[in-house]
Structure 1
Amino acid sequence: MGDWLVNEGPKWFIVGVWLVINVGLFAGTFVSYQQSLDYFYLRLLVGDALCWARASAACLNFNCLLILLPVCRNLISSIRGACSCCHRNARRQLDKNLTYHRYLGYMICLMTAIHVVAHCFDFEHLVGAYESSDPAVQAITHLSVTTNGSYVNPVRSPGTDPTQEVFKSVAGVSGVVITLCLILIVTSSTDVVRRSYFEVFWFTHHLFVIFYIGLVIHGVQGIIRGQTNTSKHNPAKCYTRYDKWGSQECPLPQFSGSPPKTWIWVLAPVVLYIIERIIRFFRSLKTAVITKVVKHQSNVFELQMMKKGFSALPGQYVFLQCSSISQLEWHPFTLTSSPNEDFLSVHIRRVGDWTEKLAKACHVDEGEFQEAWKMPRLAVDGPFGTATEDFFRYQVAVLIGAGIGVTPFAAVLKNIWYKYCDVNTEMSLKKVHFFWVCPDTHAFEWFQDLLKSLEQQTYERGNANFLSHNIYLTRGWDSNQARNIMIHDDDNALDPVTGLSQKTHYGRPQWDRVFSSLAQQHQGVSVGVFFCGPKELSTQLHKLCNKYSSSDNSGTRFFYNKENF
């Protein structure tokens, strides 16, 4: 039985603390409004709907404070750099920033639903108060508007429609607007929309600007009115003595609207996010010059660029923007160049409108060298840190890439190659298992030379066992072709497909067997598993890391790391 806590413990500890804070904030606010004398008369009109609305609003403020922080990429990169000496379990939580961002989004959706439903009941009760048979309700409802603000019911006319009353208030209009923004943001964030219609996701996600503006002005009208003179007019004693209101014993109750407080919650994260965007804007003004364009098989092309002052660690990623295509769209790509190289490179798969337009603008299909002035202007924002930065923190590393998901490991393997070329460099990393699931033989071509060089270098250093690479071809052959290759392959020193000493596999990996074998090979070792590829395979690998991790110090522990953009 695997040790679930190895991979899941730190994450769920953070999530647990966050949930406890939300529950505590909700319950505390609910009880506070339920027992407060200041809102006694308002509760008399609307019941516990007030408590539900205010409790959910408190949780909304808290989660709206947090949700911008995980997408402040410069902030996260700074924290990652400052925590270079921290334990890897703590650093790994930074790689889950988008996961936490989604969890916060789910909580905001839940609290928004509670808040909206509660206020719907509020307005129904406020309008219905004019027809109530309770004389105390009638008395509090018909309090006149005076210079002292001695009224509690914001609905001032009997017989009105609750929907019309909603749209008469700033809170109602802004509430509808921010709810619609939230619906559009959430529905466009699904995997289907992001993969097939990235532009839709990109533009609708920026509705968060309107969402935050609406959130801040939502309470400026102060329609939630609390009593201000409870020391003179005790509502618990005076509400049944409405016929004596205005006397010395029970002076007329006075009310005022609650001041807006959301801005206090969201001011700091909004300022941080604005600073983040300013940094990214000025950094992107330094354009990158495209020095080389290489067309690869499987609809992949490579861009090599030069940018003054640019430096990156292996496996980091950047955002690219092409002004001739769109002034607003930025797309993330993993760097495939090593820090030891004097250029930065990315490998881009042509899928979707933006990548096709970029390929056309870079003259990918023309097959001839183009002068720099003919190339489009590219803005590069980054680099930003990923889980792969912790690659050298493990004695044993397992790299798993699927298709174009191999790109972050290109930079990692290049960096390893350069370190091997430097005989004076010592690494704590002792073993690398590299797995690549390729769609066809052509997909391998652009990566082949790198693996050959690294393989040769390890042989020359007398450490041929350092790198174990396993390439799986899933298409481009049939069973007869694979059988013939395997029959005639026994006498060949090199693989006939890749030209490497380690043989190519045909079909998909049996991951359960792979992890079982790794667990047996590396007893008592912490193994870093790094993956980039589709979500379905990520889920499978994550479960296997949990399954084969041992809580015993003499057993193997697999730490799962996934690339997130």
Structure 2
Amino acid sequence: MMGCWILNESLSVILVLLWLGVNIYLFIDTFCWYEEEESFFYTRVILGSTLAWARASAVCLNFNCMLILLPISRNLISFIRGASICCRGPWRRQLDKNLKFHKLVAYGIAVNATIHIVAHLCNLERYRWGQSAEEEGLLAALSKLGDAANESYLNPVRTFHTNTTTELLTTIAGISGLLISLALILIMTSSTEFIRRTSYELFWYTHHASVIFFIGLAIHGAGRIVRGQTPESLVLHNVTVCRDRYAEWRTAALCPVPQFSGKEPSAWKWVLGPVVLYAWERIIRFWRFQQEVVITKAVSHPSGVLELRLRKQGFRMAPGQYVLLQCPAISPLQWHPFTLTSAPQEDFFSVHVRAAGDWTRALCRAFEAEGRAPTEPRSLPRLAVDGPFGGALTDVFHYPVSMCIAAGIGVTPFAALLKSLWYRCCESQPPLKLSKVYFYWICRDPRAFEWFADLLLSLEMRMSERGQTHLLSYHIFLTSWDEDQAFHIALHWDGNADVITGLQQKTSYGRPNWNNEFRQIAYRHPSDSVGVFFCGPKALSKTLQRMCRLYSSADPRGVHFYYSKESF
């Protein structure tokens, strides 16, 4: 099982180790430089090793802030996914883990920010104690520099009685550092799974505190609090010779008073490129916001599902892609992701929205989706569309065998795939690499099958007419029912069609036995690569990942299951 896990996840592990290795290298290299650099010798006399801790963590912080925006640059990822011929196989699957990498980098930022804050708080206290009347020797001499004319200071805290809190709030570094810290805390705490599930809107709004974070990061070093000896001063004032002759600095020509200057800020150099790239993403979104979207039909389905059929000039899509929707009448700022449920061959594109949160409930109300009757597009609210963007499901056709597994409303990403298969059965299309699709749908509410059953029924009939029933094998599971439903199911069990879906394939009751399902597919396809695509809850996702590892062969020539989860 470990060997199979390595075969499936080896590239992901290598990339994570590479990211971790760069962080460790940058930290150690910067730490050693500040511990040994001659220009910071006098700074180390006051601050000790906390100087190196602060600067090393700052470099790692800059590195991770440079990376944090790249995984959420949707147009960039879609371009790489669709245009790069080298982005195939294992490399292509890494693009599906962009949000995982985004979270990993965020943890790196949190760790390094904590080290940086603690180190500088220690530095502030050390600066203050350097002005103590009890201090003597080189430390006291360094802290008194700047009192006389034509001297540059090393210690920014000028008296022992200085209030460190006041000092913190009266400097650029202190104010920007406080804003950065508050923004980071707000972003991290509101990004927990609990907040995202219970109040997605809160998560969405607080995540935009990142604007404050990056502005603060760019100006944080402008105050140049950490100071070192200037290159010119190092030539005239040799530290090795003069460090023990501090009492003679103002009188001896051999050891003049050392001169200091702040280190040039560099954070903006790290983040400028990604920030410009992300700003360009927002410009593209604004441009798409201005484009007209025609709502051809709004249909209310059972279980609080709203179907929107839309048209937009120049819109081109592929099965498995998703779009971001905005309804200015509900919120002029919020954009929410929805998988496209139409096929590229249709003259419209569609999404299915379940009323699961504040925004989606407001959208259903705006389109009068409480009833069951279709809503015609007369005085409907305006919609804006950004996208489409590539998702994990765009890779379904790249495998000879694919398992498509959906739970509840998670079936929507697979609607476009099944419709695309339907059109390929109707039209003369080039031969597919994909030769078999196993489709699984697990749902609790029998009414939820109604809107999707029509698609499956037409697909079933079309494939039967074309003699291509071998291409699709579907399995529907109902996990919840009441006594009346159970009686009705038992009464019509011997019918030719399923009592719930109307399909020839009967609905199963209860949860799938994934061990049996994976074992059978591994037996039927002993030497194939099987793509496993899932959209649904995290608990089932973990189970499927474990099944992929368990039933993948350790032999490179055997069957291998490659797992991908739809995420936004």
| Paired residues of 2:154 and 2:227 also in contact (CA < 8 A) | yes
Does residue 140 of structure 2 align to residue 135 of structure 1? no
Counterpart for residue 81 of structure 1: 82
Cα deviation, 1:310-342, whole Å, max 9, x if unaligned, reads 111111111111111110011111110110100
Counterpart for residue 337 of structure 1: 342
Counterpart for residue 285 of structure 2: 280
* 3-state SS, counterpart of residue 408 of structure 1: helix
Range moving further from structure 2, 457-466 or 521-530: 457-466
Aligned-partner Cα distance in 2 for 1:104–1:519: 36
**Larger RCO of the pair (alpha carbons < 8 Å, separation 6+):** 1
Range moving further from structure 2, 195-204 or 548-557: 548-557
Once the two structures are TM-superposed, the CA of residue 369 in structure 1 deviates from its matched residue by 5.3
Q: 1:306 aligns with which of 311, 314, 330?
A: 311
Aligned-partner Cα distance in 2 for 1:107–1:453: 50
Aligned-partner Cα distance in 2 for 1:251–1:265: 37
Does residue 532 of structure 2 align to residue 532 of structure 1? no
Does residue 236 of structure 2 align to residue 235 of structure 1? no
| Paired residues of 1:88 and 1:390 also in contact (CA < 8 A) | no
Once the two structures are TM-superposed, the CA of residue 301 in structure 1 deviates from its matched residue by 1.3
Once the two structures are TM-superposed, the CA of residue 117 in structure 1 deviates from its matched residue by 0.2
Does residue 439 of structure 2 align to residue 439 of structure 1? no
Amino acid at match of 1:414: K
Does residue 387 of structure 2 align to residue 382 of structure 1? yes
Does residue 256 of structure 2 align to residue 251 of structure 1? yes
| Paired residues of 1:174 and 1:218 also in contact (CA < 8 A) | yes
Aligned-partner Cα distance in 2 for 1:410–1:330: 22
- Would the alpha carbon gap of residues 520 and 415 (structure 1) be closer, same or farther in structure 2, given more than 3 Å must change? same
Counterpart for residue 462 of structure 1: 467
Superposed, which structure 2 residues align to 1:167-186 within 5 Å? 167-186=169-188
Cα deviation, 1:349-381, whole Å, max 9, x if unaligned, reads 001111111111112235555553410000011
Counterpart for residue 116 of structure 2: 115
Once the two structures are TM-superposed, the CA of residue 291 in structure 1 deviates from its matched residue by 1.3
- Would the alpha carbon gap of residues 471 and 263 (structure 1) be closer, same or farther in structure 2, given more than 3 Å must change? same
Does residue 321 of structure 2 align to residue 316 of structure 1? yes
Once the two structures are TM-superposed, the CA of residue 202 in structure 1 deviates from its matched residue by 0.9
Corresponding residue pairs, total: 563
Superposed, which structure 2 residues align to 1:21-60 within 5 Å? 21-60=22-61
Q: 2:168 aligns with which of 159, 166, 182?
A: 166
Q: Which runs of 4+ in 1 moved over 6 A?
A: none
| Paired residues of 1:40 and 1:236 also in contact (CA < 8 A) | no
Aligned-partner Cα distance in 2 for 1:159–1:222: 22
Counterpart for residue 99 of structure 1: 100
Cα deviation, 1:392-447, whole Å, max 9, x if unaligned, reads 10000000000000000000000011011124542111111000001121110111
Counterpart for residue 188 of structure 1: 190
* 3-state SS, counterpart of residue 465 of structure 1: helix
Aligned-partner Cα distance in 2 for 1:170–1:411: 53
Superposed, which structure 2 residues align to 1:181-220 within 5 Å? 181-220=183-222
Aligned-partner Cα distance in 2 for 1:507–1:16: 41
- Would the alpha carbon gap of residues 84 and 447 (structure 1) be closer, same or farther in structure 2, given more than 3 Å must change? farther
Once the two structures are TM-superposed, the CA of residue 253 in structure 1 deviates from its matched residue by 0.7
Counterpart for residue 68 of structure 2: 67
Cα deviation, 1:286-309, whole Å, max 9, x if unaligned, reads 131211111111111111111111
Aligned-partner Cα distance in 2 for 1:514–1:245: 83
Counterpart for residue 501 of structure 1: 504
Range moving further from structure 2, 441-450 or 79-88: 79-88
| Paired residues of 1:37 and 1:236 also in contact (CA < 8 A) | no
| Paired residues of 1:338 and 1:414 also in contact (CA < 8 A) | yes
* 3-state SS, counterpart of residue 313 of structure 1: coil
Aligned-partner Cα distance in 1 for 2:449–2:149: 80
Aligned-partner Cα distance in 1 for 2:361–2:85: 39
Cα deviation, 1:18-62, whole Å, max 9, x if unaligned, reads 110000000000000000111111111011010000000000111
| Paired residues of 2:39 and 2:234 also in contact (CA < 8 A) | yes
Tell me the TM-score normalized by structure 1.
0.96
Range moving further from structure 2, 81-90 or 100-109: 81-90
Counterpart for residue 408 of structure 2: 403
Unaligned ranges ≥5, structure 1? none
- Would the alpha carbon gap of residues 535 and 173 (structure 1) be closer, same or farther in structure 2, given more than 3 Å must change? same
Range moving further from structure 2, 44-53 or 157-166: 157-166
Aligned-partner Cα distance in 1 for 2:151–2:555: 69
Once the two structures are TM-superposed, the CA of residue 457 in structure 1 deviates from its matched residue by 2.3
Q: 1:263 aligns with which of 240, 247, 268?
A: 268
Counterpart for residue 545 of structure 1: 548
Aligned-partner Cα distance in 2 for 1:466–1:371: 36
Aligned-partner Cα distance in 1 for 2:488–2:278: 59
Once the two structures are TM-superposed, the CA of residue 244 in structure 1 deviates from its matched residue by 2.0
* 3-state SS, counterpart of residue 174 of structure 1: helix
Once the two structures are TM-superposed, the CA of residue 236 in structure 1 deviates from its matched residue by 3.3
Aligned-partner Cα distance in 2 for 1:236–1:540: 64
Amino acid at match of 2:531: G
| Paired residues of 1:482 and 1:506 also in contact (CA < 8 A) | no
Aligned-partner Cα distance in 2 for 1:107–1:263: 18
Once the two structures are TM-superposed, the CA of residue 146 in structure 1 deviates from its matched residue by 5.9
- Would the alpha carbon gap of residues 361 and 506 (structure 1) be closer, same or farther in structure 2, given more than 3 Å must change? same
Amino acid at match of 1:102: K
Percent of matched pairs sharing the same residue: 51
Range moving further from structure 2, 417-426 or 353-362: 417-426
* 3-state SS, counterpart of residue 236 of structure 2: coil
Aligned-partner Cα distance in 2 for 1:13–1:300: 42
Unaligned ranges ≥5, structure 2? none
Aligned-partner Cα distance in 2 for 1:86–1:164: 53
| Paired residues of 2:172 and 2:222 also in contact (CA < 8 A) | yes
* 3-state SS, counterpart of residue 218 of structure 1: helix
